[in-house]
């Protein structure tokens, strides 16, 4: 894949022929059209967050407090967005953050497969959620040559956890991303207002219902008694993890282990000291806790605390310039969440590919114009706090 800015040129050329792009070019328009395409319940689930959504807003607004310093006379057509992550060379620094129940966003209900196919088409890795409508093996098979990562919601039953991780390893996922901030779901007024959760639960349990250890805990198979199976899942969904659990988690796999939701530099330092391979700075897109600080504002201190460790970031990334800022502030790769779910709602795989390519095209052209042609060129000296 060459320069993603070429995408811009394709669109300009189509425009000269009078063609309007099939999907929105601005994030605000993407969001507006996705709202129209989704049912009110799906919209409130995807777009909503915790409390009155101040953290969610802060995640986005905080990007405005940082600015990139243009550097001239080092312009080049030779640009390169590639990065190395856990031993894999990726064409771009973008990741698709895990989105549970994304099946409700697409017309055919197979949102995880649409995401996997978009990963195959773009080289942007998918972090596959534990909460999917298709089992992780089926999702892995659609990712083509693009490495995939598996996100674990750690169940209270340790043998189920072990089974999920073992299956992810066997299915070819290249890292285990353990989400720390969602052992219980946060206070989400929009979901409570639409009474969404029962509908969601029935549609995201394929990894459990296909799991031999989970099934062994049931009196009857899930297809015979789905109600009891859902109850068994709800009772074991989230293990409140502590420092004492890290060695056990580490022992479950030889794959790199990444902790998602770390925001404090002391937590990052201790996790790395205890053998974790990656730190994923995230506030879960403001869905879990309200009244907090923005993820991007946590990044510089975490980067400084663990200078030699892979650091990922998500929460509030909406554009190529947001990606560039996150890279300059210390991320090795950058996750995007809601925007690609909105793309899925508008056009399945095509809609997701459009959203990813737009973000990448903007990042490519910004790096080209401002004199930072490769990812290693972007460091803290490229940024000013406004």
Ligand X SMILES: Cc1cc2nc3c(=O)[nH]c(=O)nc-3n(C[C@H](O)[C@H](O)[C@H](O)COP(=O)(O)O)c2cc1C
Query: If binding is defined by CB under 6 A, does position 101 make contact with ligand 173?
Result: yes
Cβ proximity to ligand X, 151 vs 253, nearer residue: 151
Q: Where are the alpha helices (DSSP H) in the chain?
A: 6-16, 27-37, 40-47, 54-61, 111-122, 136-141, 158-171, 189-194, 197-201, 206-209, 212-216, 226-236, 246-251, 265-273, 295-305, 320-328, 338-369
195 by Cβ neighbours in 10 Å (0-12 / 13-18 / 19+) ranks as exposed
The residues in 181-200 that bind ligand 173, with binding defined as CB under 6 A, are 182, 185, 200
Write out the two tokens for 201: 């639960």
Cβ proximity to ligand 173, 181 vs 350, nearer residue: 181
Per the rule left: phi > 0, alpha: psi between -120 and 50, beta: everything else, 72 is: beta
> Which of ligand X, ligand 173, none interacts with 185 (beta carbon under 5 to 8 A by kind)?
ligand 173
> Which of ligand X, ligand 173, none interacts with 344 (beta carbon under 5 to 8 A by kind)?
none
Run of H or E including 128: strand 127-128
How many CA atoms lie within 13 Å of 245's alpha carbon, on the beta-carbon side? 16
Map tokens 């407090």 to a residue: 65
> Which of ligand X, ligand 173, none interacts with 330 (beta carbon under 5 to 8 A by kind)?
none
Positions that interact with ligand X (CB under 6 A): 45-46, 59, 97-100, 129, 131, 151, 179, 260, 282, 284-285, 287, 314-317, 336-338, 341
Q: Tell me whether residue 179 is annotated as binding.
A: yes
Distance of closest approach, residue 284 Cβ to ligand X, in angstroms: 5
Write out the two tokens for 213: 């250890």
Distance of closest approach, residue 11 Cβ to ligand X, in angstroms: 23
Q: Tell me whether residue 45 is annotated as binding.
A: yes
Residue nearest to ligand 173 (CB): 100
Identified catalytic residue from 65, 110, 264, 284? 284
Q: Tell me whether residue 338 is annotated as binding.
A: yes
How many CA atoms lie within 13 Å of 231's alpha carbon, on the beta-carbon side? 8
- List the one residue from 83, 127, 131, 305 that touches ligand 173 (CB under 6 A): 131
Residue nearest to ligand X (CB): 337
Cβ proximity to ligand 173, 112 vs 364, nearer residue: 112
> Which of ligand X, ligand 173, none interacts with 349 (beta carbon under 5 to 8 A by kind)?
none
Per the rule left: phi > 0, alpha: psi between -120 and 50, beta: everything else, 382 is: alpha
How many CA atoms lie within 13 Å of 218's alpha carbon, on the beta-carbon side? 24
Distance of closest approach, residue 315 Cβ to ligand X, in angstroms: 4
Write out the two tokens for 6: 């070429």
Distance of closest approach, residue 280 Cβ to ligand X, in angstroms: 8
Distance of closest approach, residue 271 Cβ to ligand X, in angstroms: 16
Whole-angstrom Cα distance, residue 212 to residue 178? 21
* Count of residues that bind ligand 173 according to CB under 6 A: 8
CA distances from residue 225 to 230, 231, 311 in whole angstroms, order as listed: 9, 10, 43
Q: Tell me whether residue 317 is annotated as binding.
A: yes
Whole-angstrom Cα distance, residue 202 to residue 62? 36
Handedness of CA 80, 86, 87, 90 (dihedral sign): negative
Cβ proximity to ligand 173, 81 vs 151, nearer residue: 151
Cβ proximity to ligand 173, 100 vs 343, nearer residue: 100
> Which of ligand X, ligand 173, none interacts with 337 (beta carbon under 5 to 8 A by kind)?
ligand X
Q: Tell me whether residue 26 is annotated as binding.
A: no
Whole-angstrom Cα distance, residue 378 to residue 2? 19
Distance of closest approach, residue 104 Cβ to ligand 173, in angstroms: 10
284 included as an active-site residue: yes
Residue 68's DSSP bridge partners are 383
> Which of ligand X, ligand 173, none interacts with 200 (beta carbon under 5 to 8 A by kind)?
ligand 173
Known binding site: residues? Answer: 45, 98-100, 129, 151, 153, 179, 188, 260, 282, 284, 287, 314-318, 337-338
- Annotated binding residues for FMN, as ranges? 98-100, 129, 151, 179, 282, 314-318, 337-338
Residues near ligand 173, by CB under 6 A: 100-101, 131, 182, 185, 200, 284, 287
Q: Looking at the annotation, which residues are catalytic?
A: 284
């Amino acid at each position: 894949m060459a320069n993603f800015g070429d995408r811009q040129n394709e669109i300009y050329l189509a425009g000269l022929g009078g063609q309007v792009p099939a999907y929105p070019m601005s994030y605000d328009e993407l969001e507006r059209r996705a709202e129209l395409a989704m049912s009110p319940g799906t919209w409130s689930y995807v777009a909503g967050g915790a409390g009155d959504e101040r953290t969610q807003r802060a995640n986005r607004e905080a990007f405005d407090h940082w600015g990139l310093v243009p550097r001239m006379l080092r312009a080049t057509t030779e640009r390169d967005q590639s990065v190395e992550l856990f031993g894999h060379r990726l064409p771009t620094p973008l990741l698709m953050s895990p989105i549970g129940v994304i099946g409700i966003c697409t017309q055919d209900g197979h949102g995880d497969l649409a995401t996997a196919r978009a990963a195959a088409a773009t080289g942007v890795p998918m972090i596959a959620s534990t909460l999917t409508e298709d089992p992780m093996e089926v999702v892995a098979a659609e990712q083509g040559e693009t490495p995939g990562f598996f996100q674990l919601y750690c169940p209270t039953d340790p043998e189920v956890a072990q089974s999920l991780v073992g299956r992810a390893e066997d299915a070819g996922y290249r890292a285990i991303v353990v989400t720390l901030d969602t052992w219980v779901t946060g206070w989400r007024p929009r979901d409570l207002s639409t009474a969404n959760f029962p509908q969601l639960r029935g549609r995201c349990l394929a990894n459990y219902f296909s799991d031999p250890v989970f099934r062994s805990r049931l009196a009857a198979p899930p297809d015979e008694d789905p109600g009891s199976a859902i109850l068994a899942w709800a009772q074991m969904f989230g293990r409140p993890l502590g420092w004492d659990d890290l060695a056990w988690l580490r022992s479950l796999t030889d794959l790199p282990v990444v902790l998602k939701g770390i925001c404090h530099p002391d937590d990052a330092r201790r996790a790395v000291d205890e053998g974790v391979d990656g730190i994923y700075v995230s506030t879960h897109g403001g869905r879990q806790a309200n009244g907090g600080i923005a993820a991007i504002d946590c990044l510089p201190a975490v980067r400084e605390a663990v200078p030699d460790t892979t650091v990922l970031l998500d929460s509030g990334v909406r554009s190529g310039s947001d990606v560039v800022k996150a890279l300059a502030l210390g991320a090795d790769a950058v996750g995007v969440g809601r925007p690609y779910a909105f793309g899925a709602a508008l056009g399945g795989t095509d809609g997701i590919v459009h959203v990813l390519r737009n973000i990448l095209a903007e990042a490519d052209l910004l790096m080209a114009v401002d004199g930072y042609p490769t990812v290693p060129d972007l460091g803290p000296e490229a940024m000013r706090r406004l």
